[in-house]
Amino acid sequence: MIWLLPVKSIATRRFATGLIILAIASSFALLIAVEKLRVAARTSFLSTISGTDLIIGPRGGGVELLLQTVFYSGQPQGLLSMNVVELLRQRPEVAWAEPISLGDAHRGFPVVGTDKGFLDHYAYRDGRKLVLAHGKTNGDLFDATLGSEVAARLGYDVGAKIVIGHGTGQTSFLTHDDKPFRIAGILQPTGTPIDQAVLISLQAIEALHRDWQGGARPTDATGISTGGARAGRPDQQRVTAVMVGLRSKFHALSLMRAINEWPDEPLTAIMPGVVMQELIGLTRPFEAALRLVSLCVVAVALAGMAAAILASLESRRKEMAILRAVGASPFHIGGLMLAEAVFLATSGAAAGMLAVYATLWAGRSHVDRLFGLSIGTVSPSPDDLLWIIAAALSGALAGLIPAMRAYRLSVADGLAAPA
* Max CA pair span of the chain: 108
Residue ranges of domains in the chain: 2-45+284-416, 54-270
Percentage of residues in the chain having pLDDT higher than 70:
73
User: Cβ–Cβ contacts within 10 Å for residue 247, how many?
Assistant: 13
3 state DSSP class of 347: helix
Per-residue pLDDT reduced to its tens digit, 279-318: 887 777 877 787 787 778 777 777 776 776 666 666 666 6
Mean pLDDT across the chain: 78
pTM of the model: 0.72
pLDDT recorded at residue 241: 92
Q: Find all residues with CB under 8 Å of 8, minimum gap 6, and list them.
A: none
Residue 168 DSSP one-character state: S
pLDDT, mean of residues 202-231? 62
- Pairwise CA distance, residues 88 & 50, whole Å: 20
Count of CA atoms in the C-beta half-sphere (13 A) of 322? 7
Where residue 407 falls among pLDDT bands split at 50, 70, 90?
Answer: low
Q: Find all residues with CB under 8 Å of 382, minimum gap 6, and list them.
A: none
CB 349 within 8 A of CB 25: yes
pLDDT recorded at residue 353: 85
**Which residue has better confidence, 230 or 302?**
302
Per-residue pLDDT reduced to its tens digit, 52-69: 999 999 988 888 899 899
pLDDT exceeds 90 at position 264? no
pLDDT exceeds 70 at position 46? yes
pLDDT exceeds 80 at position 416? no
Per-residue pLDDT reduced to its tens digit, 146-168: 999 899 899 999 989 998 886 66
pLDDT, mean of residues 203-228? 62
Where residue 97 falls among pLDDT bands split at 50, 70, 90?
Answer: very high
pLDDT exceeds 50 at position 414? no
